[in-house]
Amino acid sequence: MCPLGYQDTSNDDSRCQLCPTGFYQDTFQMAACKVCTLEGALCKLVPGSISAANQPAATDSIKLPNISTNDVVAMHSLTLKEVQEIQAFQINQENEQNNQFKQCKAVDDVQAERSSTFVLVYSLLFVASISVLLSRKFLCFEMFLLFSLSFSSTNTKHFFHAISPTDRFMPLCSKNFDIVFAKSHFIEEGHAVRTVDSRLGTSFHFVLMFAIIALFVMVFVDDPNTIKTASLKPISSVQTNTTTYGHVNLTITTYAPRTDAFESCSTDIVVDQTNGFNCVSKMKEVGKALNLKLAVCSVAMDCTTGGDVHFRGIQQVVFGLPDAFQTIEWHVTQSFWDPEGLPSTWSHVLGPSAPNDGEDPQMLVGELKSPTTLNFGVTRGLREDNKKNCKNAGLELFWRGAHREESSIDGTSSGKHYVAVRFDVGEEIYEKKVEDKLSLQNQMAQWFTYAMSVIATMKIAKIVLQLIIDKGFVILGETYNQHVPADVQRRINILNETLGDNGGGAFDLRDDDEENGNAGGSRRTGTRTTGGDGEIYGVELTVPVMNRKNPLAQHTERVLIAELKEQNQQQAGQIQHQAEQNQQQAEQNQQQAEQMRVMQEQIAKLMKVAVVATKSKTATL
């Protein structure tokens, strides 16, 4: 006898067909379902309704999902928190089954925190570098004066004259720290490279120290130094040494009108799986205490996959559901195994296919041997992280559509229809490896190369900037008849290989004592006074000095003499070699003359013999 919500479509009462959506049956053993006319009633929403008046209560917390009209599933990635919660539970289970390798943990917010930390470190080093350069004030003070005094008034000129000896913060003795950039100067043609310490070189030297620290952080700390490779290989060519490829979480929620024939979710729903899975299931009836007109059953399963031997070919999890449960909301989630990609969840609402115009409504009638299937393609994956010495095995899932076993004529003989989540496992494995990109020696070489490039660039910058500063002071000194700072004048004299200009003005000669602030020992002294109209008056006393030859010029002459001597020695060697060749030629000529003489003697002897023979023959005749 067919129960409520069904119609009898067979002659022998062996099978009953569920009333489709839009119909109901409130009487036993009826041949046809009744048409549902009340809008909003359950019979308009789900099949198997037993009343035309039942409506979901306004306070119901259960929302009936809409059945999908196609097989397009919804897929979204899990959040990091969800992954970590699932992984904490799964790793505890896997540690009991698989102790062969260490599991890699999920990614977290450490990468973002590290990036922020490195930005802060680079910013602090940059600020420190700029502070060192500005401490010399060539950017914010000297350059301003160099390019603005040509338009300034007479009072500004006196202001420059008063403060120019003290316009730089760094003391003169700080130039002794100029180690790297002491030879970085603009050299005129015909002059030799000279080592001259400068305060600007000291500033660049400290900036270089900060730059080298930044390069060290970039190469050894900031750079992950990681190379990743991925390949698809036959499973037979890879030694995985794993007993599980992670977990697959399955959740289904089914909906049907509540009838007296419904007992409980755990009694009416059966679950089975193939030997490639080891599943733990949990069933519950949702909203049972609310006395809903709907029966809502939820089944959550955590399935641990087997190793290479068992988890292969076709694997599936089968759910046996009462015929009334035709609306099935399902979710499938793979476990975490690859930190570069968080696992995803596939979801869908399965139901009978929508009938075409003129066709009878369909119902799901899958049997145990030929169930309705939700099909997934599966590729096994293995990720080895040699940097962290850990390994993860997992699955990559691909949705391949649903196959419905349906009928519009008969229901099932057992009163249950079966739905299987089927996994087609491929015979290949997706292998990923994470290794060090560079060894420690290569990292050191990279750091050294970067440092050399920075030094070369800073040397060029120092040469250009030093030239601008020196030229600027010289031009201002000549234009406004001001003394060029002693260290600038000394640097110019050394680089130009001169001892100074006896004409006074901007190129007055100062010795080391004057550079250090001591007036004693100078060769030329002068007094200056300022008149009321701003002009400068004074008397300059010049002390005669003994002319002496420039030691740099003497050195040049010695080099020239040495070069001439070397050339003379080379010429003498060439002459001697030519003489030896002439002597050898003379000896060869003498040998040839001796050979000619011997030949002539032999010819003479032969002629004598011939004459004697001729005479003897004549006498005989």
Give every CB contact of residue 298 below 8 A, 6+ residues apart in sequence: 251, 252, 253, 265, 283, 284, 285, 286
Average pLDDT, stretch 280-296?
Answer: 77
User: What tens digit of pLDDT does each residue of 6-33 get?
Assistant: 887 766 556 677 888 888 888 887 878 8
Nearest to 588 by CA among 600, 577, 580: 580
Q: Which of left, alpha, beta for 241 (phi over 0: left; psi -120 to 50: alpha)?
A: left
Better-predicted residue by pLDDT, 496 or 72 = 496
Give every CB contact of residue 208 below 8 A, 6+ residues apart in sequence: 180, 454, 455, 458
Q: Which letter does DSSP use for residue 109 in this model? A: T
For residue 553, the model assigns a pLDDT of: 52
For residue 402, the model assigns a pLDDT of: 92
> Within 13 Å of residue 96, how many CA atoms lie on the same side as its CB?
5
- Are residues 4 and 19 in contact, defined by beta-carbon separation less than 8 angstroms? no
* Averaged pLDDT score across all residues of the chain: 76
- Are residues 262 and 243 in contact, defined by beta-carbon separation less than 8 angstroms? no
Task: Examine the pLDDT at 506 and tell me if it is beyond 60.
Answer: no
For residue 422, the model assigns a pLDDT of: 96
Burial of 543 (0-12, 13-18, 19+ CB in 10 A): exposed
Better-predicted residue by pLDDT, 172 or 523 = 172
User: CA–CA separation, 467 vs 474, rounded Å?
Assistant: 11
Give every CB contact of residue 473 below 8 A, 6+ residues apart in sequence: 146, 484, 485, 488
For residue 425, the model assigns a pLDDT of: 94
Task: Examine the pLDDT at 598 and tell me if it is beyond 70.
Answer: yes
Task: Examine the pLDDT at 199 and tell me if it is beyond 90.
Answer: no
User: What tens digit of pLDDT does each residue of 224-265 get?
Assistant: 788 888 999 998 888 777 888 888 999 999 988 877 777 778
For residue 80, the model assigns a pLDDT of: 56
Burial of 126 (0-12, 13-18, 19+ CB in 10 A): middle
Q: Which has the minimum average pLDDT: 297-301, 419-423, 523-527?
A: 523-527
Confidence of residue 100 (pLDDT cuts 50, 70, 90): very low
Give every CB contact of residue 162 below 8 A, 6+ residues apart in sequence: none
Give every CB contact of residue 51 below 8 A, 6+ residues apart in sequence: 24, 26, 41, 42, 43, 257
Task: Examine the pLDDT at 401 and tell me if it is beyond 50.
Answer: yes
Confidence of residue 378 (pLDDT cuts 50, 70, 90): very high
For residue 285, the model assigns a pLDDT of: 83
- Alpha-carbon distances of 430 from 390, 394, 434, rounded to whole Å: 17, 10, 14
Better-predicted residue by pLDDT, 614 or 331 = 331
Strands (E), 15-168: 16-18, 23-24, 34-35, 74-77
Ordered structural domains, the chain, with CATH: 1-55 (2.10.50), 74-101+241-353+362-436 (no CATH), 114-220+442-525 (no CATH)
Burial of 423 (0-12, 13-18, 19+ CB in 10 A): buried
User: What tens digit of pLDDT does each residue of 31-54 get?
Assistant: 788 888 887 777 887 888 888 776
User: What tens digit of pLDDT does each residue of 535-552 get?
Assistant: 444 444 444 444 444 454
For residue 361, the model assigns a pLDDT of: 81
Strands 277-285 and 294-305: antiparallel
Helix (H) or strand (E) holding 183: none
Q: Which has the minimum average pLDDT: 202-206, 240-244, 329-333, 521-525?
A: 521-525
